Amino acid sequence: MRSVGLIVEYNPFHNGHLYHLQRAAQQTGAEVVIAVMSGHFLQRGEPALTSKWSRTKMALLAGVDLVVELPYAFAVQKAETFAFGAISILDALKSDGFCFGSESGKVKAFMRTYETITKHKQDYDAAIRTAIKKGMSYPAALSQAFLSLGQTEQLVDLSQPNNILGYHYIEAAMEINSNMKAVTIERKNAGYHDETLTTEQIASATAIRKALVETGELTSIMNYVPATTYEELHHYLDTYKQYSNWEHYWPFLQYRLLHMTEEETAAIYEVEEGLEYRLIKIAAEANSFQSFMSKLKTKRYTWTRLQRMCVHILTNTTKTAMAEHAKEIKYLRLLGMSQKGRAYLQQIKKKLNIPLISKLSAFPKEKISLDIHASSIFAQGYQEPARMRLRRLEYEQPPLFVSRNV
């Protein structure tokens, strides 16, 4: 069975994701679509709108055949590490290819960009270091370093968010010597960070989440998500009484910062260059996550980088723990499958070189401890009995199975 892999967050699954999924299968001739999906906390340093189980169900109902979790150690990370983890999982699952959305839409341009940067690696890295020393954020430094190479007209614009991720997917595949074929699809209509809903039927996940928060009405997003997503979002709200956002976790983050020493804060992953003092001081002054972030933000650190740092503080993920867990993919956590997905796993299971987890109790807890802890902290943002229900799902929920008409 021919397969194609997608790297996703589905926060929530919307019409743009459906378009990407369908085009990926069409362009590659894949019979099976594999999604590597972030768990309860996401790459931009945010709690997911709904649980990973809810988002898995949205994916399966829309046409995905296998959903495998991207571990916390790779999910809440800068683009390079995020991409390395996701590509490694797809390679381990013997996917024939991977497909990503981009502003470019031309995979040859990504390959030329990779070759150019590799050829001028020393100059490129030196330019990044110089830009950072001048106080630039890391993404801005990358963009300037890229422009310093010259002759960029036939290359990919690395100032665009999806192009940046796409470049790192290509880089990761080359780094692990993967045989997977890369395919990219140009993003339709909505930009990655667009915050407004338009008259079109495709909007960014950012705009959809914002509309849900501002209006409190599911009907405001009805035109932008498949019917199956709409129904699942309705069911989730009935069951758990809320969608997650950072403000639900602010009291816990503030408590952590006000009760940690500077040394303890400095040991947290991504806390660098004396930020521990600034974090603790501002935590005492802020009355919401939004106000905390607004005071914390500087030119040197992007909002996303600071949010990721906050997630690691919230989950007490230290530099030592991250160094241990983010070296390589050590397991494949199966979240859900269709009948095609089940057949595909039967086909490849003897070729797997990494354990496939379908039952958490059968796997050593210390190897998956970051994921377990992250799920427990995610549940903490809910009121009882929803909190306990989410905690129990981490241990008791078997992989979801969705039977679709084929």
Determine if residue 216 is labeled as part of a ligand binding site: no
Determine if residue 9 is labeled as part of a ligand binding site: yes
Determine if residue 16 is labeled as part of a ligand binding site: yes
Nearest to 182 by CA among 106, 97, 83: 97
Determine if residue 15 is labeled as part of a ligand binding site: yes
Could you give the CA distance from residue 185 to residue 357 in angstroms, rounded to a whole number? 31
Determine if residue 10 is labeled as part of a ligand binding site: yes
Determine if residue 193 is labeled as part of a ligand binding site: no
Note if the bond before 161 is cis, omega within 30 degrees: no
Nearest to 34 by CA among 8, 57, 71, 73: 8
Q: In Å, how far from its chain's centre is CA 50? A: 13
Unique residue bearing structure tokens 């998500």: 225
Q: In Å, how far from its chain's centre is CA 294? A: 23
Determine if residue 162 is labeled as part of a ligand binding site: yes
CB-count burial class (<10 Å; 0-12, 13-18, 19+) for 256: buried
Determine if residue 17 is labeled as part of a ligand binding site: yes
Determine if residue 74 is labeled as part of a ligand binding site: no
Nearest to 10 by CA among 187, 209, 166: 209
Unique residue bearing structure tokens 């979801």: 400
Could you give the CA distance from residue 163 to residue 186 in angstroms, rounded to a whole number? 10
Determine if residue 301 is labeled as part of a ligand binding site: no
Determine if residue 120 is labeled as part of a ligand binding site: no
Dihedrals phi, psi of 79, to nearest 5 degrees: -55, -40
CB-count burial class (<10 Å; 0-12, 13-18, 19+) for 52: buried
Determine if residue 236 is labeled as part of a ligand binding site: no
Note if the bond before 385 is cis, omega within 30 degrees: yes
Pairing of strands 97-102, 3-8: parallel
Determine if residue 11 is labeled as part of a ligand binding site: yes
Q: Which residues are annotated as a binding site?
A: 7-20, 101, 162, 187
- Residues comprising the binding site for ATP? 7-20, 101, 162, 187
